[in-house]
Amino acid sequence: MTAPVKIDPSESTEVQGVAGEVLQQYIERIERLEEEKANISQDVRDIYAEAKSNGFDAKVMRELIKIRKMEQHELDEKESLLHLYRQALGML
């Protein structure tokens, strides 16, 4: 990731109704959040790696996390369709 270009706020001007200082604040806030997001993503990858080293399957863990986020009716529908499709393919 390249270092952000720093702009001297004293040099900020208003161009076509856009206040440079306000725009810079928005950009800097977004940059900070993007950096935090990258750090959190790395932390999550580290946890999956740790779980894998203890014998857990990261792919299955991801699926469990998806399931935990679902409403019960969504989960029921998904399981019903999965059962139907497996049956149609002769997998049951």
> Is the predicted pLDDT of residue 21 greater than 70, yes or no?
yes
Gyration radius from the chain CA atoms: 24
Output the pLDDT for position 19: 86
Element housing 92 (H / E): none
pLDDT above 70 as % of the chain: 82
Q: Render pLDDT for 59-75 as a digit per residue (tens, 0 to 9).
A: 999 999 999 999 999 99
pLDDT band at 10 (very low <50, low <70, confident <90, very high): low
- Mean predicted confidence (pLDDT) in 21-46: 97
> Is the predicted pLDDT of residue 20 greater than 80, yes or no?
yes
